[in-house]
A = this chain, B = another copy of it.
Amino acid sequence: MAPEANIQGMDLTQYIKDVPDYPKPGVIFKDITPLLGDGNAFNHTINSLAELFADRQIDIVLGIDARGFLLAAPVAYKLGKGIAIVRKPGKLPRKSIGESYDLEYGSNTLELHEDAILPGQNVLIIDDVLATGGTMEATCKMVEKLGGKIAGIGFLIELDFLQGRKKLEEKNVKAIMHY
C-alpha cells in the first residue's frame, strides 16, 4: 500500500471489498460500494482526489460512464467546475466523436460530444480504477482530438501489476490507493 491511502489520516482501504471470481473466474474485483456508501469515507475520497491536483489550473472535469461519474461529478462540484461525460456508444444524443480500444477479446468504443471540451481547456479526468489503461488511453485521445489539454488524471485505485500507467506516459497520473 502506498502512503496516499492514508491521506488526511483516514485508511480508505478498509472500505474496499475484495470479490473473488468477479466478473470472471480468477479475477479479484475491487468493490468500491462500501466506500461510496460511507459518508466520511466518500467525503475524504473526493477531497483527496481534488487535493492531488490542487497545483493545476482546471477548467473542466471529465467523467467516464458509469462508476467514474460517482467520483468525477463531486470533484467537479467541489472545484466549482462543470463536468463533461464520456459514454458508451449510442448514449449521447448529439454529434459525438468516438474512440475504440482493444479488450482481451474484442473491443469497446467510447463517445464524447464534440462540443463537450473546448480547444485549450484544461481537463481533469477522474475515474475509479486504473487497470490495463485502455479506457483512459481512448479517453485521452478524444480530449486531445477536441483540442483539450490534460491537466491531470486521477484514480481512486491503481492496479499496479497491470501496468496501465505505461499507456499514459508523460501524463500527470495520480492514484489514492495502489494494489
Contact = CB atoms under 8 A, between A and B. Distances in A.
Interface of A: 17, 19, 22-23, 29, 31, 33, 36-39, 41-43, 46, 60, 63, 65-67, 69-71, 73-74, 76-78, 80-85, 87, 91-94, 113, 116
What is the oligomeric copy number?
2
Contact of A83 (B36, B84, B94): B36
A82 B19 contact: no
Contacts of A77: 42-43, 46, 74, 77-78
A92 B74 CA distance: 21
Contacts of A17: 94
A31 B94 contact: yes
A116 B93 CA distance: 32
Which secondary structure characterizes the binding site on chain A? Answer: mixed
Given A71-B73, A77-B74, A85 B42 contact: no
A80 to B, nearest CB: 5
Nearest to A59: B39
Contact of A116 (B37, B41, B46, B76): B37
Contact of A66 (B22, B38, B65, B83): B65
A17 B81 CA distance: 19
A63 B67 CA distance: 11
14 contacts: A23-B93, A33-B94, A37-B82, A39-B60, A43-B80, A63-B70, A65-B66, A66-B66, A66-B87, A69-B69, A69-B73, A70-B73, A73-B73, A74-B76
Nearest to A65: B66
Contacts of A91: 66
